[in-house]
Structure 1
Amino acid sequence: MRIVFASGKGGTGKTTVAVNLAYLLSKAGQNVQYLDCDVEEPNGHIFLKPTIEHTRPALVRVPVVDQEKCTSCGECSAKCQFHALVVLPGSTLVFPELCHGCGLCSIVCPAGAITETDRETGKIETGTGLRGIKFVRGILNVGEPMANPVIREVKREALSGHLQIVDAPPGTSCPVVETMSDVDVIILVTEPTPFGLHDLQVVVKVAQATGKPIGIVVNRDRGEFRPLIRYLAEQKLDVLARLPEDRKAAEVYSTGVLLLQALPEFRDHFADIAVGLGLLQDARELKNRGQLT
């Protein structure tokens, strides 16, 4: 199963929920892989403490134009949806930063003047974190405008036979849509504030367009924000857990320690998420067996 954790805005606690659930499920005996697709600002490593075992470049195929063969017919430029090629009299310009690597230009060129070469847009790191959690993260090169190619490379590292916890970028733009593709369940993490509700409403529309099951986790819950309660009821969205607002949680987070390692009172909340997803049995039974302590 592949579960993606997303949010309409940054700072809602998306990564907090993702890494702690990965840790809990690993303690319960499951094979878990954590994939950090927030490639512009990955931070899951701060909490899962992985040993990086392999690093490779994330590559995109971009066009190279043989100006001697090029007839300046304009076919490549006309077909490119991303305007990565511009045909001028006697010369065809390529803008590699705009290229999505689809290869269409080389296919439609009637003169056979276009070949492709690799361009590095970031890097992919793999390793092993706490409790044997398999760890993958993508890191986008500074100044690189497109995260999607790196996100796709992260997902290519997915291991069969493992429960995959995918940490999505914040927001609702193309990188989020790319991360949400080919998953089984979408978990949206929100907070009980006007900004949190507004951005949740936007990301719910994106998630609903995928047709995948959606679950909600309310972080820093205080229980009194009626607009959020009404919205969730209107949309018939299931709340898997409500993590209470607690200054101690913020203090633990700021030191790079998992909540489950430092605050035992949060264990039941994360167990509720796992049980709600059908990934664990009744949390009390597991606790009696010593797997959640």
Structure 2
Amino acid sequence: MKIAVLSGKGGTGKTLVSVNLAASAKESIYIDCDVEEPNGHLFFKPKAVQSEAIAIRTPSVDEKLCKGCRICVEFCKFNALAYIKDKLIIFDEVCHSCGGCVLFCPAKALSEKEKVIGEIQSGVSENVGVITGILNTGEASGVPIIKKLLTCASSDKQFTFIDCPPGSACIVMESIKEVDYCILVAEPTLFGVHNLNMVYELVKLFNKPHGVILNKCLEEENPAEKFCIENSIKIIGRLPFDRQLGRVNADGLIAIRESQKYRDLFFYLLQRITREVEDETVTHP
């Protein structure tokens, strides 16, 4: 059961939800796909951490063989190649590693070299396998790391929780492609509604079953709740605006490991989500 946790921006409680749901399960895998700023490991503090470098393949030119035909330049739709002053220039930052330029070069002047763009760290925190993707500073895309991260989802664990990057860009799309269910985390503000709508449109585009967890709920009117009701979006649960919960989270602690109150709250949410996924499986096998 692969469950993605999304939000339209950072700070809504996406990591709070995904970390505590993963810790609530008997056994689970937590995958941090927010490769530009991963922080789930700060809560889990995993042990026995192992690291694996992630590399992409980018073209390299042998200037002695290059005839200046520009076939590679014309082929590349990402403008990663340019022929300037009798010299082929390669812009690694925008290369999508398709390998087409190498295949089409009639002079065989192009080959591929490996470029390390980040790493994956894997460890264990009690009942949770913690897998974190880290993109090197300055790299253009974390998609190759996310693709590798998602191969780490274990089939022998009932739950895999995917902590997605904030927003709705291509790295988020890659994170949810193969999931069974999406949880959208929203704040009770008009700005929160804007961000909720952003990821709501995304999961609809991918035709993913989904529900909303409303975070930081107060007694007063909640625009995010109103948006869910108007759009017939299922509300899975509500997290209160709770100073103690905020303090625990700010201290880098996992709430369910600190308090029975939060253990009960997130275990209820986990049961609710499990029923939602099972119902979707029966309805749309």
TM-superposition CA deviations, 1:107-162 (whole Å, max 9, x none): 2223322211110111111111122x111101111222222222222223222222
Paired letter, 2:116? E
Name which of 56, 63, 72 aligns with 1:60: 56
Rounded Cα–Cα distance in structure 2 between residues aligned with 1:111 and 1:234: 61
CA displacement 1:229-255 (0-9 Å, x = unmatched): 231122221111101110011111111
Partner of 2:132: 137
Give the Cα–Cα distance (whole angstroms) in 1 for the partners of residues 46 and 229 of structure 2: 39
Counterpart contact for 1:22–1:32, Cα < 8 Å? yes
Find the counterpart in structure 1 of residue 25 from structure 2. 25
Aligned-pair CA distance for 1:78: 2.0
Q: Where does structure 1 lack aligned partners over 5 or more consecutive residues? A: 281-293
SS in 1 for 2:5: strand
The TM-score normalised by the length of structure 2 is 0.91
Deviation string, structure 1 residues 260-292 (Cα, Å, up to 9, x no partner): 122322233322322222269xxxxxxxxxxxx
Structure 2 residue 121 is matched with structure 1 residue 147:
no
3-state DSSP of counterpart to 1:39: coil
Residue in 2 that maps onto 1:252: 248
Q: Output aligned runs, 1:188-207, within 5 Å.
A: 188-207=184-203
- 2:78 counterpart SS class: coil
Q: Is the 8 A contact 2:189 2:222 kept in 1?
A: no
Runs of 4+ in structure 1 deviating by more than 4 angstroms, as ranges, are none
Q: Which one is further off, 81-90 or 112-121?
A: 81-90
Pairwise CA distance, 1:6:
0.9
The residue number in structure 2 matching 1:51 is: 47
Contact 1:242-1:269 at 8 Å conserved across structures: no
> 1:157 maps to what in 2?
152
Counterpart pick for 2:91 among 85, 88, 95: 95
Mapped contact 1:52–1:125 kept (Cα < 8 A): no
Check conservation: 1:72, 1:88, Cα contact below 8 A.
Answer: no
Q: Which amino acid aligns with 1:3?
A: I
Cα distance between partner residues in 2 of 1:52 and 1:118: 28
When structure 1 is superposed on structure 2, of 215-224 and 7-16 the one drifting more is 215-224
For 1:214 and 1:81, how far apart are their aligned partners in 2? Answer: 35
What CA distance in whole angstroms lies between the structure 1 residues aligned with 2:98 and 2:219?
48
State whether residues 36 and 137 of structure 1, in contact with CA within 8 Å, keep that contact through their aligned partners in structure 2. Answer: yes
Question: Which SS does the other structure have where 1:277 is aligned?
Answer: helix
- Residue 226 (structure 1) shift: 4.4
Find 1:117's aligned residue among 113, 116, 119.
113
Following superposition, the deviation at residue 164 of structure 1 comes to: 1.1
SS of 1:201 mapped into structure 2: helix
- Note if contact 1:187-1:216 (Cα within 8 Å) is conserved in structure 2: yes
1:78 match: secondary structure = helix
TM-score normalised to the size of structure 1? Answer: 0.88
SS at match of 1:171: coil
User: Within the alignment, does 1:71 sit opposite 2:67 as a pair?
Assistant: yes
